[in-house]
C-alpha cells in the first residue's frame, strides 16, 4: 500500500519541479505549524475524496474568502505614500498646534490620493474630483486634513450628501456607467440644485484630469479654526500646492489611458518615489480674523464658495515630502482611516454645515468598513504618541490590557488613566444661541457669482476644454428637459458659455443672458498661473530600432536625465537594440505595451537603418501623430527628421537643416550641436503643451 505522505511529497516535487524555496523562511499556518505541501488538499487515496480534517486547507480558504472588506462608498480607488511635513516657522501667533511650531521637527505623514466616483476597479484617468487626504502623526495625536483637489463642493449641507453621491454613482437599474458623471441621473440632480453650479464649473474644467498626483493642488475645502495659547481664534482655509506646478491631461489622453494603463497615476506615484523623484507640496493657509468673518459678499462657511486670493492671500507655512512607498497596499493604503474629526489642540471646527456632517459620517464609515471600533489599533492608524483609555474589548482588540480597572473614577488602578489637569483638547468656546430650525442660512443663498468668477479666470484654451467637456457629459444625457435645464443654469453663469454648450447638445441657445457677467476674475484659479517651468519628473519616449545613431541617443538621453527627466526606449520588441557601431541599448517598452499618451514628450534619434525600420511600422507614425495632436514636445535629429515628415503633423516647416524649433518641435537634420538640441528640448518639455498646434491637427 502506498504511503499517503510519500505520495503527497512526490506530487509536490513534480508540481514545483526546479522551484527553490529559501529554507530560512518556512511556510506555516497562522498557528505557526510548518506546512510541507500547499498545492494539494489532504485526500483518501489518489485519486480520492478530500478530508474535512485538512486544517491547512480550511485556514487558507476561509481567510481567502474574507480578504475583501467593504470598499469606500466614495474615494474607493486610491494610492498612498509615507513622508514627512516640516513647518517653515512657528505659527504660535495663530495656533498652539505643536507640529506647527518648530521648523527643525519633521512630522511623519501618510497621504492618500483618490478618485471619488468609481469603484476600486475603475481607472485612474477618468474625469473626476480627486481626494487629497493627509494624516499627520503628531506628538499630540493624529491630525487628519481630509480634502480634495478642488476648493469647493457640490452641496452646502451634509444632509444632501447621500443624494449627490447616489446621483453620481452608476444608475441603480443597470449599474452603468462606472466612474463617470456623464449620465442622466447625475445631471438631473445637478440641474435641479442651483448650489452645485460653482462645483460643476470646476468638474467640467481640466482640474478633474490631473496629469499626476504630484502635479495637482489640494484644498481643505472647509473653513476651520486656529486657536492659540491665549484662546484667541481665527478662521483658516488650507491649500496644498505642488512644487512641480499644476498640470492636466488632455481629455482624449485621459480616455485612452483608461484602456492603455488604467493605473497610470498610481504607477506614476509609485515609480517617482522608487526613483527618488519625491513628490513635494507646500502647505498654505488663508487666515481670516474672527472680526472679519462677515466682511465678504459671501459666507465663508459656505462650502460651495472659495475665498479669492486677491481678497485673502495664501501664506506658505511648510512643506510635505512623500519619500516612501507603502510596504503593503491593503494594510496601509486600504486600511488607513481618515476623519475630519481627528484634530489636535490648536485646530478646531467652524459651523460649516457640510463639515459638521462629515465629523459624524467619516467615523461612522470606518466603523462599517473596518468592522470594529478598534480600527485605531491598526498600525497605519495608531498614533506615534502614547495613548491610554478605558475602552474595552470588541473585534480586533489587539491591546493586552493588564489593569484590573476599565472605568473612571477608580481607586484600584491608582485613579489612572485620568483626565489631565494641565493640558488637553479644549473646544473653542464659541457663543451660540437660537431656535431649532431646518433652514438654510440666507447668507448661503447666492449660487452663481463665483461660478462666473471661475469662468472669467480661465484661459481661452481652458474655456474651450470646459465647453468640450460639457458637450461630452451632457451629450450622454437622453432627457431633453435635463439638457435644457442645464443650459438655462449655465446662462446664469455666462451667456456666451450657455450658447456654446447649447450648440453641441441639441438645445436651443438662450437669446438673452439670465444675469449680467460681473467681469471679475481671479488669475490664481487658472492652471496657467500655477505652471512651473521645469522638466523634472517628466517622461520621454525615445523611438529607436537597430542601427540607431548611438551618439545622438546617448547625448540627448544624458541631458534629459540630468534635467530630472525619465527616458524610456520604445521599440518593436523587448530586449536590446544595437547601434550602427554595435553599442547595445536596453528596450524599456514596445509599441504594443506603450503609447504616446503615457509620455510627456517624444524623441527620435537618427540612424538610417533605425529610421527605415520605424517608417515601416504604422504604430510608430501613429505614436508621433498622437504626441503632436496632444501638443507635446517632439525632437528629432539626423534621419529622425525624415520620420517626422512621414507623419501627419501639419503647420510645421522643415526648412533649416541644422537646427529649428517650431512650436515645440525641435529638429536638426544635420546636428552639429547636440547640446543645443538637448537644451531646446528640455525647455520645450518644461512648457508642457503647445496649444497653438491645436487648430493644425488633421481630422481624425
Residues that constitute the known binding site for heme: 72, 112, 161, 358, 362, 369
Grid cell locating 68: 475583501
Laid out side by side, the sheet with 633-637 consists of: 589-590, 566-571, 539-543, 601-604, 633-637, 665-668, 660-662
**SS3 helix, strand, coil % of the chain, rounded to 5?**
35, 20, 50
Task: List C-alpha distances in Å: 652 to 36, 402, 666.
Answer: 67, 77, 10
How many Å separate Cα 635 from the centre of its chain?
A: 30
Rounded Cα distance, 550 and 545, in Å: 11
Burial class of residue 697 in the structure, from the number of CB atoms within 10 Å of its CB (0-12 exposed, 13-18 middle, 19+ buried): middle
Q: Examine residue 562 and say whether the peptide bond preceding it is cis (omega within 30 degrees of 0).
A: no
Local structure of residue 526 (DSSP, 8 states): S
Q: What SS3 class is residue 131? A: strand
How many Å separate Cα 332 from the centre of its chain?
A: 16
Nearest to 285 by CA among 343, 235, 237: 237
Q: Are 597 and 624 in contact (CB under 8 A)?
A: no
Q: Are strands 224-227 and 347-349 parallel, antiparallel or unpaired?
A: antiparallel
Active centre residues (catalytic): 75, 148
Q: What are phi and psi of 85, to 5 degrees?
A: -120, 140
Nearest to 486 by CA among 73, 204, 139, 119: 204
Using the structure block, give the residue that is written with the C-alpha cell 524555496.
21
Please report how many Cα atoms fall inside a 13 Å half-sphere around the Cα of residue 633, on the Cβ side.
Answer: 26
Amino acid at each position: 500500500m502506498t504511503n499517503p505522505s510519500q505520495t503527497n511529497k512526490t506530487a509536490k516535487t513534480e508540481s514545483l519541479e526546479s522551484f527553490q524555496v529559501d529554507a530560512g523562511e518556512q511556510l506555516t499556518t497562522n498557528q505557526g505549524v510548518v506546512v510541507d505541501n500547499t498545492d494539494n488538499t489532504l485526500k483518501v487515496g489518489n485519486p480520492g475524496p478530500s478530508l474535512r480534517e485538512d486544517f491547512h486547507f480550511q485556514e487558507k480558504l476561509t481567510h481567502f474568502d474574507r480578504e475583501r472588506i467593504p470598499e469606500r462608498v466614495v474615494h474607493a480607488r486610491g494610492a498612498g505614500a509615507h513622508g514627512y511635513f516640516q513647518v517653515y516657522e512657528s505659527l504660535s501667533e495663530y495656533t498652539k498646534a505643536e507640529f506647527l511650531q518648530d521648523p527643525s521637527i519633521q512630522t511623519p505623514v501618510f497621504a492618500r490620493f483618490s478618485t471619488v466616483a468609481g469603484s476600486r476597479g475603475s481607472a485612474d484617468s477618468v474625469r473626476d474630483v480627486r481626494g487629497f487626504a493627509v494624516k499627520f502623526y503628531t506628538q499630540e495625536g493624529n491630525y487628519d486634513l481630509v480634502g480634495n483637489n478642488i476648493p469647493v463642493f457640490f452641496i452646502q449641507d451634509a444632509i444632501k450628501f447621500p443624494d449627490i453621491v447616489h446621483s453620481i454613482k452608476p444608475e441603480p437599474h443597470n449599474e452603468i456607467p462606472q466612474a463617470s458623471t456623464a449620465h442622466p441621473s447625475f445631471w438631473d440632480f445637478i440641474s435641479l440644485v442651483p448650489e452645485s453650479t460653482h462645483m460643476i464649473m470646476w468638474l467640467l474644467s481640466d482640474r478633474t484630469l490631473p496629469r499626476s498626483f504630484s502635479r495637482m493642488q489640494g484644498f481643505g475645502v472647509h473653513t476651520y479654526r486656529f486657536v492659540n495659547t491665549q484662546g484667541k481664534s481665527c478662521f483658516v482655509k488650507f491649500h496644498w500646492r505642488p512644487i512641480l506646478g499644476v498640470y492636466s491631461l488632455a481629455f482624449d489622453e485621459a480616455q485612452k489611458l483608461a484602456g492603455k494603463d488604467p493605473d497610470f497615476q498610481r504607477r506614476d506615484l509609485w515609480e517617482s518615489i522608487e526613483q527618488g523623484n519625491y513628490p513635494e507640496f507646500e502647505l498654505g493657509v488663508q487666515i481670516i480674523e474672527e472680526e472679519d468673518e462677515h466682511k465678504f459678499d459671501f459666507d465663508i462657511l459656505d462650502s460651495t464658495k472659495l475665498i479669492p486670493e486677491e481678497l485673502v492671500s495664501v501664506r506658505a507655512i511648510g512643506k510635505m515630502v512623500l519619500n516612501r512607498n507603502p510596504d503593503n497596499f491593503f494594510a496601509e493604503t486600504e486600511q488607513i482611516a481618515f476623519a475630519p474629526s481627528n484634530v489636535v489642540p490648536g485646530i478646531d471646527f467652524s459651523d460649516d454645515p457640510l463639515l459638521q456632517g462629515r465629523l459624524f459620517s467619516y467615523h461612522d464609515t470606518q466603523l462599517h468598513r473596518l468592522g470594529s471600533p478598534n480600527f485605531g489599533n491598526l498600525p497605519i492608524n495608531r498614533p506615534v504618541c502614547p495613548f491610554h483609555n478605558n475602552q474595552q474589548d470588541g473585534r480586533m482588540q489587539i491591546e493586552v490590557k493588564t489593569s484590573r480597572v476599565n472605568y473612571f473614577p477608580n481607586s484600584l488602578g491608582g485613579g489612572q488613566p485620568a483626565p489631565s489637569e494641565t493640558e488637553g483638547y479644549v473646544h473653542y468656546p464659541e457663543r451660540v444661541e437660537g431656535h431649532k430650525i431646518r433652514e438654510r442660512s440666507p447668507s448661503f443663498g447666492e449660487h452663481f457669482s463665483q461660478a462666473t468668477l471661475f469662468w472669467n479666470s480661465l484661459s481661452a484654451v481652458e474655456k474651450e476644454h470646459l465647453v468640450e467637456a460639457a458637450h461630452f457629459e451632457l451629450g450622454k444625457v437622453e432627457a431633453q428637459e435635463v439638457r435644457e435645464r442645464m443650459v438655462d443654469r449655465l446662462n446664469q453663469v455666462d451667456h456666451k458659455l450657455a450658447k456654446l454648450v447649447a450648440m453641441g447638445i441639441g438645445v436651443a441657445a438662450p437669446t438673452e443672458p439670465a444675469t449680467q457677467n460681473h467681469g471679475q476674475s481671479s488669475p490664481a484659479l487658472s492652471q496657467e498661473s500655477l505652471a512651473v517651468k521645469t522638466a523634472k519628473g517628466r517622461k520621454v519616449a525615445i523611438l529607436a530600432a537597430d542601427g540607431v545613431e548611438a551618439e545622438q541617443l546617448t547625448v540627448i538621453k544624458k541631458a534629459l536625465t540630468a534635467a530630472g527627466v525619465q527616458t524610456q526606449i520604445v521599440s518593436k520588441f523587448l530586449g536590446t537594440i544595437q547601434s550602427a557601431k554595435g553599442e547595445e541599448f536596453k528596450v524599456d517598452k514596445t509599441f504594443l505595451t506603450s503609447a504616446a499618451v503615457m509620455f510627456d514628450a517624444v524623441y527620435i534619434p537618427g540612424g538610417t537603418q533605425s529610421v527605415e525600420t520605424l517608417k515601416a511600422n504604422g504604430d510608430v507614425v501613429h505614436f508621433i501623430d498622437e504626441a503632436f495632436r496632444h501638443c507635446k514636445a517632439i525632437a528629432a535629429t539626423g534621419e529622425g527628421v525624415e520620420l517626422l515628415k512621414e507623419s501627419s503633423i501639419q503647420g510645421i516647416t522643415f526648412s533649416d537643416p541644422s537646427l529649428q524649433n517650431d512650436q515645440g518641435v525641435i529638429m536638426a537634420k544635420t546636428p552639429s550641436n547636440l547640446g543645443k538640441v538637448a537644451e531646446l528640448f528640455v525647455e520645450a518639455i518644461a512648457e508642457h503643451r503647445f496649444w497653438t498646434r491645436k487648430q493644425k491637427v488633421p481630422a481624425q
